[in-house]
Amino acid sequence: DKESKIRALSIRISILEEQLSDQQAVVDKQNATLRVARKRIEMGGPESEQEKYARITYERARAEDGLRNVTSKLEQASASIDDRFSSIAELQREQSEAKHYQQVAQARVDELAAELAKSNKWQVIAVEVRSALVKERDTLQRHVDQDLSLHPD
């Protein structure tokens, strides 16, 4: 199976090489004719109808190739620009979402900070009350101790 595929590919390559050789021969002949015509024109000689036709055909083929290349590059550039605009729009959408999430998170942080401040306020009050109670207990304990020391019964 692999050998038959290799043989088929080898035959296909041979055919393509032969076609390439034929096409190259045509191109070489056209280039030679064009060179001859250009030399004759440069020397001031008249251009034959066949040479004029060959030159115009050659120049037209070159112009059409150039046009195809430019058209292809224009299409690629247009596609690239469209992709860029769509990615910019997507980035702007993501940025808008991120800003919204940031605002929501900031509101939650502010809410939690307010709760924490409220809680801290009550904790401070509780500490102060406890401290006052401890002082009062200590004071009462001293009074009791003094009263007991004055009246030992």
DSSP-assigned states of every residue in 2-54: HHHHHHHHHHHHHHHHHHHHHHHHHHHHHHHHHHHHHHHHHTTPPPPHHHHHH
| Overall average pLDDT of the 104-125 stretch | 90
pLDDT in tens, 6-27: 888 888 888 888 988 888 898 8
Is pLDDT at 40 greater than 70 in this prediction?
yes
What DSSP designation does 151 have? -
Q: What is the pLDDT of residue 110?
A: 93
Mean pLDDT of the chain: 86
Angle at CA 65, nearest 5°, toward 60 and 68? 125
Q: What are phi and psi of 12, to 5 degrees?
A: -60, -40
| Overall average pLDDT of the 116-135 stretch | 90
* Share above pLDDT 70 across residues of the chain, in percent, rounded to a whole number: 97
Query: Lowest-confidence range among 4-8, 113-117, 131-135?
Result: 4-8
